[in-house]
Chains A and B, each alone.
Chain A
Amino acid sequence: MTDFADTFPPRGTRSNAEPADPQPQGIYPPTEEMLNEPVDPAIARAQENRLRAVWQQPQGWRYWSAVNNSEVGAWYSLTAFAFMLAAGVLALLMRVQLAVPDNDFISADRFNQFFTMHGSAMMFLFAVPMFEAISILLLPAFLGARDMPFPRLSAYGYWSFLIGGIFVLGSVLFDVAPNSGWFMYPPLATEAEGPGSDIWLLGLSFIEVASIAAAVELIVGVIKCRPPGMRINLMPLYAWYVLVVGGMILFAFPPLIAGDFLFEMQRSFDWPFFDPERGGDPMLWQHLFWIFGHPEVYIIFLPSIAIAAMVVPTAARRPITGYSWIVLSAVGTGFLSFGLWVHHMFTTGLPSLSLGFFSAASEAVVIPTGVQLFAFVATLMVGRVKMILPMLWIAGALAIFTAGGLTGIMVAVAPFDWQVHDTYFIVAHLHYTLFGGMIFPIIGGVYYFYPFITKKKMSDRLGRWAFWLMFTGFNLCFLPMHVTGLQGMPRRVFTYPEELGWNALNMVSTIGAFVTAAGVLVFAWDLLRPKSRQPLTERNPWGGGTLEWAHDVPDPGWGARSVPYITSRYPLWDEPELVGRMDAGRFYIPDAPEGKRETIVTSAVDAVPQHVARVTGPAWCTIVAAVFTGGAFIFPTFHWYPPAIVCGVLAIATVLYWLWTSTAQIPEAPMKDAGLGLRLPTYVSGAKAPGWWAVFITMLGDSTAFASLVFGVFFYWTARPDFPPEGADHANLALAALAAALIAASWGATRIARSQNRRGNVARTRILLAAAPVLALASATSLVGAVWLPDMDPVSHVYPAMMWALVVWFCAHTLLGVIMQGYCLAGSVFGKLTPRYDADLWNTALFWHFKLVMGLVGIAVIALLPRML
């Protein structure tokens, strides 16, 4: 994330011996005269027509093959909204059941399914996907970019989300939904009958993978796809939040995926990770779940407050006060929120010293969280506030969130938490934080950005109705719950006896829930009502200062007519000529002479142009890949393994087809004219390429999942006296050492192949790339032998099960690495990968760096560590 443009000379590195990539040539930054020079209208019109043709959306039934961020983002957010309405209906049904004591409106089991699905759907099918959806929709516009860096990846993520979401949510209609609560504690969830727990684990794992894909894309978008000149200190605050939240997803979701993996191994194959009778421990799940679960709250909250950071300056009609402070706030919260997870586990009997650490961190996180709210208030105080409707929602959000934050400080104190744990006080607290921290800012954001998204306006009057209905309804519903909880009503009970005195409070809550629902319906109607007779909006209806308001009305699909050169945080306020120049095609890549979709890639810190990247266009392979990936996750729910394996293989094949036909394509010329006297490379490899960053970021997340498994080993060792059990068989040392040597050799072959290829030794490259997979497969075989030979039975005890889990992890990654090596070999043979065009090989080598470290650490944990414990 560093660059050395314009201040530091390029570093000399070892790879100097290898031929270097072509460098950008020409003039940068552009001079004022160049920007003032008018564009010939005839040329501009011809360019415009070519761009329009390239970015045109597919028509008719082919519309669904679109991958453009404006389409995928809109589908994504509407789908997440639909899931939210469904989860809201479950909430209303629960409130009906709880309205009066001793009610029999729904049965206890159905009630369990409802609260489990309500929580799971709101978290996994609404809150997190909504962040991704809105970011996919808006981020390129904030950055003046044409599209996201990997449009087909967004589309794949969306279709996966749709399939997984329908599968998980649909289970409630067949009375087989998971019913153990949204955090699925074992042993209740591991022992639960029926496929409910499997639906939760596999369906949501599938969606988590899609979430990580979106996070990778958003991080790369922020780091590499900013417009030229938009240095890191000029970036819109939304982009800062996206960067932080993307990073948090990378470190928060993988522990849950690792936990899901262990959990599903226990459900399907009886490996006793959470079974105390065979050395397991249900607490490991709680740790892994909440290492995910608590940062997740902030993953939901930060992007929503980021919307406030965009609305507040517009409402105050001045730049944000304390930009650096808000960055501090976002980054600081991102870090500290990882130190809170045990505050969900205060009642599990951990040493009070440990509880103290988490209690202290829970109090400390208030500081960065609060800083941004004060910065917003300060901006409003020094500005000339115009109370636009989105600002009303943001104001409501701040009020509600502050109330939720205050109860949060209360429950962060362990002794207080012991009193209210698992009562309605917690229900009230978490809904205050989520409504204030997510629902209200998001709806405010929808009102604010709707003219940008659809080029029409929503109704001001309906918006005010929706606000006041939701605001009063929400408080009516959840404020009394604080009291209900303090009076002792536990959460998740399906009914209660009359004489406990909770009747009136519950009735008020139910009424409040329906008032809130009325508000949501008004909003939904306003959002979806046909607006074809309504006139198009003006271009910048709120008078905002950031780049998204330079959009074209109506939408031509190209994102930005030309990618601007940026010199300010609020370019539309500070540079009145900017929009005119963008429209005229005065800035970068105003044309598409090759008929390809393109966007500009810039350096990470100073946004110096580096590369014109070709981005992918409409395709069906993303849908096909999502369907097969869905099959690979959904069939195991019913223990139908053969079709699952077939689907998995087909999914991999589809993805390979997709990569082969559309990524890292050899361009027709190595450089192209990017406009304003600048010539940029059309193909880069290594750290300048968005694809390399995507691999790097994905592997960071992957390493986190691996670290979670290693954490599991240490956890069992500290938590259990019999880990490893007395006299247990350990993995075969010689075979494990052989596996380590072979995997290192495979890594070395891949790495040397990269340099040899660059130097033009194609034959040697192919030999190395042919040898590397053989070495890798031999390594995996050897490691399987190392745990197979001593007869370590994974069903017998958690120790062999944990070792086997690490071996499974190792083998799965080896297979992936082998596929990548084979892909590069095929590329070299069939002319897709040449000494000059070698991005795939760089990415494969990068994967193998991570693979090597994980492999060696894994082997050490399997073969050496248990002998020392």
Chain B
Amino acid sequence: MLGHRHSSLWHMILAPTVWAVHFCVVYGWTAVQCARAGGPDAARTGVLIATAVALMAIVVLGWKAWRQWDYLDDFDYVHDQPTTEHRREFLGHAGWLLAIVSAIGVGFNALPAVFIRSCL
């Protein structure tokens, strides 16, 4: 369904998709814990677990994208040639950059659970 990662836009956006899923889980989990059960401690613990899982997933995706970008082989970062290699490297490069932004986003979103100890 997703195709091979060398020629797939879906793979390129997997890391931000992890960010999106993490965001929804964190928001939904906190809403449920604060409104219906658990309270702030359960909410915060859940957020931190979800964050650890999301970060691990993003690291794996980022590593794969880095390998696909293959920067250290020719130090190419422009990817403007009409070749299969440049298309592969471009998708890897963009996927790697997106993984970095996604990791920052996930990290940012976990910070409130570090600092805020109440549901109020």
Are the CB atoms of A364 and B108 closer together than 8 Å?
yes
A205 to B24, CA, bound (A): 26
A718 to B35, CA, bound (A): 6
Q: Mark B20-31, 1 if CB is under 8 A from A, else 0.
A: 100100111011
List chain A residues, Cβ under 8 A from B3. 1-4
Are the CB atoms of B9 and A325 closer together than 8 Å?
no
Q: Residue on B with the closest CB to A7?
A: B84
A367 CB contact (under 8 Å) in B90, B104, B111, B112: B104
List chain B residues, Cβ under 8 A from A367. 101, 104
A208 to B93, CA, bound (A): 35
Binds B, one of A139-147, A334-342, A581-589, A734-742: A334-342
List chain A residues, Cβ under 8 A from B23. 338-339, 357, 361
- From 40 to 78 in chain B, residues with beta carbon under 8 angstroms from any chain A beta carbon are 40, 43-44, 77-78
Are the CB atoms of B4 and A356 closer together than 8 Å?
no
A233-B90, A338-B20 known; A356-B112 Cβ under 8 A:
yes
A364 CB contact (under 8 Å) in B2, B28, B105: B105
Q: A357-B112, A364-B109 are in contact. List 8 more A-B contacts (CB 8 A).
A: A2-B4, A233-B79, A233-B91, A332-B16, A335-B19, A357-B109, A361-B105, A718-B31
Are the CB atoms of B113 and A324 closer together than 8 Å?
no
Are the CB atoms of B84 and A6 closer together than 8 Å?
yes
Are the CB atoms of B120 and A7 closer together than 8 Å?
no
A3-B7, A605-B87, A718-B32 known; A360-B16 Cβ under 8 A:
no
Are the CB atoms of B101 and A332 closer together than 8 Å?
yes
Are the CB atoms of B7 and A233 closer together than 8 Å?
no
List chain B residues, Cβ under 8 A from A348. none
Q: Residue on A with the closest CB to B92?
A: A324
Q: Residue on A with the closest CB to B4?
A: A8
Binds B, one of A471-479, A565-573, A841-849: A565-573
A357 to B113, CA, bound (A): 8
B27 CB contact (under 8 Å) in A2, A354, A363: A354
A648 on the B face (CB < 8 A): no
A357-B109, A568-B82 known; A352-B2 Cβ under 8 A:
no
A229 to B91, CA, bound (A): 16
Chain A residues with CB under 8 Å of chain B are 1-4, 6-8, 229, 231-234, 319, 323-325, 327-328, 331-332, 335-336, 338-339, 351-357, 359-361, 363-364, 367-368, 566-569, 604-606, 714, 717-719
Q: List 9 A-B contacts (CB under 8 A).
A: A232-B9, A339-B20, A339-B109, A351-B119, A352-B116, A357-B26, A605-B9, A606-B7, A606-B84
Q: Give the most central of A325, A331, A338, A569: most B CB within 10 Å.
A: A331
What's the nearest-Cβ distance from chain A to residue B112, in Å?
A: 2
List chain B residues, Cβ under 8 A from A356. 111-113, 115-116
Q: Give the most central of B3, B26, B111, B112: most A CB within 10 Å.
A: B112
Q: Residue on A with the closest CB to B9?
A: A1
List chain B residues, Cβ under 8 A from A352. 112, 116, 118-120
Q: Residue on B with the closest CB to A714?
A: B28
Are the CB atoms of A7 and B31 closer together than 8 Å?
no
A324-B77, A354-B30 known; A606-B9 Cβ under 8 A:
no
A354 to B104, CA, bound (A): 18
A232-B91, A357-B112, A367-B104 known; A1-B80 Cβ under 8 A:
no
List chain B residues, Cβ under 8 A from A339. 19-20, 23, 105, 109
Q: Residue on B with the closest CB to A717?
A: B36
What's the nearest-Cβ distance from chain B to residue A224, in Å?
A: 13
A8 to B5, CA, bound (A): 12
List chain B residues, Cβ under 8 A from A234. 80, 82
List chain B residues, Cβ under 8 A from A6. 84
Are the CB atoms of B109 and A4 closer together than 8 Å?
no
A112 to B15, CA, bound (A): 44
What's the nearest-Cβ distance from chain A to residue B72, in Å?
A: 16
List chain A residues, Cβ under 8 A from B20. 335, 338-339
What's the nearest-Cβ distance from chain B to residue A321, in Å?
A: 9
List chain A residues, Cβ under 8 A from B19. 335-336, 339
Chain B residues with CB under 8 Å of chain A are 2-4, 6-10, 12-13, 16-17, 19-20, 23, 26-28, 30-32, 34-36, 40, 43-44, 77-80, 82, 84, 86-87, 90-91, 93-94, 97-98, 101-102, 104-105, 108-109, 111-113, 115-116, 118-120
Q: Residue on A with the closest CB to B44?
A: A353
A604 to B104, CA, bound (A): 30
A568 to B36, CA, bound (A): 57
List chain B residues, Cβ under 8 A from A718. 31-32, 35-36
A605 to B10, CA, bound (A): 11
List chain A residues, Cβ under 8 A from B78. 323
What's the nearest-Cβ distance from chain B to residue A619, in Å?
A: 33
A653 to B74, CA, bound (A): 59
Are the CB atoms of B32 and A336 closer together than 8 Å?
no
What's the nearest-Cβ distance from chain B to residue A423, in Å?
A: 25
Q: Residue on B with the closest CB to A569?
A: B80
Are the CB atoms of B82 and A567 closer together than 8 Å?
yes
What's the nearest-Cβ distance from chain B to residue A865, in Å?
A: 14
What's the nearest-Cβ distance from chain B to residue A469, in Å?
A: 39
Are the CB atoms of B7 and A605 closer together than 8 Å?
yes
List chain A residues, Cβ under 8 A from B26. 357
List chain B residues, Cβ under 8 A from A2. 2-4, 7-10
A4 to B16, CA, bound (A): 24
A356 to B34, CA, bound (A): 14
List chain A residues, Cβ under 8 A from B86. 231, 233
A229 to B101, CA, bound (A): 30
What's the nearest-Cβ distance from chain B to residue A332, in Å?
A: 4
A714 to B27, CA, bound (A): 12
Q: Residue on B with the closest CB to A243?
A: B9
Q: Give the most central of B26, B108, B111: most A CB within 10 Å.
A: B108
Are the CB atoms of B84 and A229 closer together than 8 Å?
no
Q: Give the most central of A351, A361, A569: most B CB within 10 Å.
A: A351
A605 to B7, CA, bound (A): 7
Q: Residue on A with the closest CB to B116?
A: A353
List chain B residues, Cβ under 8 A from A357. 23, 26-27, 30, 109, 112
A738 to B119, CA, bound (A): 43
A718 to B102, CA, bound (A): 28
A153 to B40, CA, bound (A): 51
A3 to B9, CA, bound (A): 10
List chain A residues, Cβ under 8 A from B90. 232-233, 323-324
Are the CB atoms of B105 and A351 closer together than 8 Å?
no
List chain A residues, Cβ under 8 A from B44. 353
Q: Residue on A with the closest CB to B3?
A: A2
List chain B residues, Cβ under 8 A from A566. 82
Are the CB atoms of A606 and B87 closer together than 8 Å?
yes
List chain B residues, Cβ under 8 A from A233. 79-80, 86-87, 90-91
List chain A residues, Cβ under 8 A from B77. 324
List chain A residues, Cβ under 8 A from B112. 352-353, 355-357, 359-360
Q: Residue on A with the closest CB to B6?
A: A7
A719 to B116, CA, bound (A): 21
Minimum-distance CB pairs A-B, first 4:
A356-B112, A2-B3, A233-B90, A328-B97
Q: Residue on B with the closest CB to A719?
A: B35
List chain B residues, Cβ under 8 A from A363. 108
A797 to B78, CA, bound (A): 60
List chain A residues, Cβ under 8 A from B115. 356
List chain A residues, Cβ under 8 A from B94. 324, 327-328, 331
List chain B residues, Cβ under 8 A from A604. 9
What's the nearest-Cβ distance from chain A to residue B26, in Å?
A: 6
Q: Residue on B with the closest CB to A5?
A: B7
What's the nearest-Cβ distance from chain A to residue B9, in Å?
A: 4
Are the CB atoms of B7 and A364 closer together than 8 Å?
no
List chain A residues, Cβ under 8 A from B40. 353
A328 to B3, CA, bound (A): 21
List chain A residues, Cβ under 8 A from B102. 332, 335
Q: Residue on B with the closest CB to A715?
A: B31
A4 CB contact (under 8 Å) in B7, B13, B119: B7
List chain B residues, Cβ under 8 A from A336. 16, 19, 101, 105
Q: Residue on A with the closest CB to B111?
A: A360
